[in-house]
Amino acid sequence: MNTADYKGLFVFIQQVDKKISSVSYELVSEGRLLADELGYQVTAVLLGHGVTELSSRLAKYGADRVIVVDDPALETYQTEPYTRALTEVVLAKKPDIVLFGATAIGRDLAPRVSGRVETGLTADCTKLRIDYADPKDTSSDRILHMTRPAFGGNIMATILCPNHRPQMATVRPGVMQRTAVDNPKEAEIEAFPVAGLDESINIDILEIVKKTSAKMDIQDAKILVSGGRGIGAPENFKVLEELANALGGTISSSRANVDAGWIEKDRQVGQTGKTVRPDMYIACGISGAIQHLAGMEESEIIVAINKDPSAPIFEVADYGVVGDCMKVVPRLTEELKKLAAEKVN
């Protein structure tokens, strides 16, 4: 394969019910930084039906061009028509790099596209950078270095794809910074028809049932009260929840409590959970293992409550309280409720 024939950085834009997923904006922003290093354009690839009007929003985050595949067969996500449509785009345009969000859709779509275009895929990346294929040889090609957790999050592996194109990766939501571009230019929109997509439909969708959660997604929360092994028992999450409610936030957890069955997987913060960037992260009874820090260290303010004064969590905390979190948290909640009552009166 002549890798020099492949140019440009493409981002698959995930949209559901004509609403672009947040991770797609994050990837366009990150793609802008990577593309600038390589002198590439950023191309957003938007699949769906009646979605062309969404294109203008992507320029705000750095997209130079938007390729739109608009077809009734793409109204609702289905594996086969989406795979075929995106494969046709990749084969025709020959991008050097293609990025996907590591969502349910992205994890389903990306490996199928990579298989059909006969290239590799690095899944669940937490870091992307451009560097030489051989960092010791500055005459070697500059390629994408894709970093992801491996062996249960115990090591970080950097993976290269030097001999095949495009270089493809799925990236975990919340990892990359979503940043608007100053004075964005209007993106060029290109319609890319793919004939016979309806023939690719191999399932009938009888009903779409949307599950609504009573709790907000931890990646959307401005304030998180997070529990570690130090909270002592699953019922103690109720204590943390009272504090979260008083602050207008929600609860999250370290991996240990999820593995113990104390709380749902979607509450997990860390390399093998979700990456969060709240305005305030209150770590209760969390020691601060590197796998957990990787998922929350970009929080605006970090408050640590731990009875072990040498816990690593204090090294990244803006404020620290040495003490039993099950004694500190109820008193903090009580004081917050008093302040709220005084404001009302």
Q: Which helix (H) or strand (E) holds 116?
A: helix 104-116
**22-60: b or e for each residue (b if 16 or more CB lie within 10 Å)?**
bbbbbbbbbbbbbbeebebbbbbbbbbeebeebbebbbe
What one-letter code names the amino acid at 286?
I
Which has the minimum average pLDDT: 15-19, 135-139, 145-149?
Answer: 135-139
Q: Report yes or no: 166 and 95 within 8 Å, Cβ to Cβ.
A: yes
pTM for the predicted model, two decimal places:
0.81
**How far does the chain reach from its first CA to its final CA, in angstroms?**
73
| Cis? peptide before 149, omega within 30° of 0 | no
Domains identified in the chain and CATH numbers:
3-200 (3.40.50.620), 223-344 (3.40.50.1220)
pLDDT in tens, 207-239: 888 766 667 789 889 999 999 999 999 999 999
Q: Which residue has the tokens 């979503």?
A: 178
Contact 50, 198 (CB under 8 A): no
Instruction: State mean pLDDT over 113-118.
Output: 97
